[in-house]
Amino acid sequence: MRSLIFAIIAVVATSFMMPAVHAQTAESERQKLVVEMFEIMGYEQIIIRLSETVAKQVSAQIKRKAPTASDKLLAKVGTIYGEEFAAMRPELMLFAGNFLSKNFTIDELKQLMTFYKTPVGQKGIKIMPQMTQEMMAWMPSVMGRFQGRALRRIHALAKEEGLEL
């Protein structure tokens, strides 16, 4: 796992190559901090939980559209999503590494890591994926109402300009 993270960070680093030695040293330190951040956050487990959440949602959609779908089929959905997310893991980690490198200074990364090492930080790491899962399950029921209201308002606004959407 650590070698995969280092490989991904190496790619990130080469995409941001800077001619100054000081800048290269800073970027190298940033890469090491991002790798450590991934380890502290348990990023691999976050990706696994994400794949499980998506698989559950897709399985629920299949079950709604095809109530007679077998448990075997639904179990295979989980397997497929697990495999596909595993194949996409390097790309997801590269994206996250780029995001962290682009949006946080070295000092900010150090502060985040200090926080994530505390009991509250560890609790946050454990509880945030659960919140994300619950939010993803909750969103479809909310989006229907939200989109309906938003579209009615947009249609009324367009109608004021003589447009029929």
pLDDT tens track, the chain, 165 positions: 555 554 455 544 444 444 445 556 777 788 888 888 888 888 888 888 888 888 888 898 899 999 999 999 999 998 998 899 889 888 988 888 889 888 999 999 999 999 999 999 999 988 987 887 788 788 888 888 888 888 899 999 999 999 988
Residues 46 and 73 in one domain: yes
SS3 33: helix
Residue 148 tokens read as: 């309906």
Residue 123: inside a domain: no
Residues 32 and 84 in one domain: yes
Query: Structural domain tally of the chain?
Result: 2
The residue count for the chain: 165
Residues 84 and 47 in one domain: yes
Residues 64 and 141 in one domain: no
Phi, psi angles (nearest 5°) of residue 139: -55, -45
Residues 111 and 133 in one domain: no
CA distance 72 to 13: 44
Do the Cβ atoms of 113 and 40 come closer than 8 Å?
yes
Which pTM does this prediction carry? 0.57
Residues 144 and 64 in one domain: no
Residues 79 and 148 in one domain: no
Domain that holds residue 77: 2-117
